[in-house]
Amino acid sequence: MIEKQSDNIDNKEDNVSEESSISENLSLNDGQINEDNDLSDEDNETINTEDLKNTITNNDARLEQLEKEHETLKSQYVRIAADFDNFRKRQSRDQDDLKIQLVSKALTAILPIVDNFERARQQLKPESEEAQTLHRSYQGLYKQLVEVLKQQGVSPMRVVGQQFDPNLHEAVLREPSQEFNEDIITEELQRGYHLEGKVLRHALVKVSMGPGQQNSQEPEEKDKVEEDINSESTISEND
């Protein structure tokens, strides 16, 4: 009986020892698992940090590339806008020049008619009532024509007493003059006109050579030049 109790006590001690051993093993396993988990968390944290750094680096590089592309596109836009603005201004200027050329061509064809009106006004001296009535009608037409030219921007040159300028005048005759200095216009042979500040037709003029010059053109040559001018005007009117 006593032996059996002793055996039971021994068995209980063995069981207790086994349970203690199992508990220790479980504790060791739990500690190992915790350590492994801690290591795994550290590894994951390290990996996440590296991924984040790589992502930031890639985003910075992409942002820098996009900024460069933006600057390139902006430069192209500014250049295209400037080119278009220059094109628009050039087109507008070309259209204005073409308009002036067309108007100049039409008005230049009318000017000989104005010349003939002015010559007729200077030469005609109506005496009878009928002639005066006709002359007034004639002058009315002339004034209408001059008004139309004025509305189109045409203005006559005033040249007598002015310095000769080849950009505005064409010298037909040169003769000595006691009244005017050299290269001063003494007489207007054919009126010149401006159109919007530009020369529509050069004035044909007589220019002074100053006092004491003896190489003036002969009167016959002078008359011939004036006759040529008058004949050209008459031909233009007939055409």
pLDDT at 214 over 80: no
Cβ burial 30-48 (10 Å sphere, 16+ → b, else e): eeeeeeeeeeeeeeeeeee
Residue with token string 């000595």 = 176
pLDDT digits (tens, 9 = 90+) for 64-116: 888 888 889 989 999 999 999 999 999 888 888 888 888 888 888 889 988 88
Can you give the pLDDT at residue 103?
84
Class of domain 155-239: mainly beta
Instruction: Judge if pTM exceeds 0.85.
Output: no
User: For all residues of the chain together, what is the average pLDDT?
Assistant: 76
Residues 4 and 22: their CA atoms lie apart, in Å, by: 26
Residue with token string 């795994």 = 40
The count of C-alpha atoms lying within 13 angstroms of the C-alpha of 27, restricted to the half-sphere facing its C-beta, is 6
Domain ranges of the chain: 1-108, 155-239
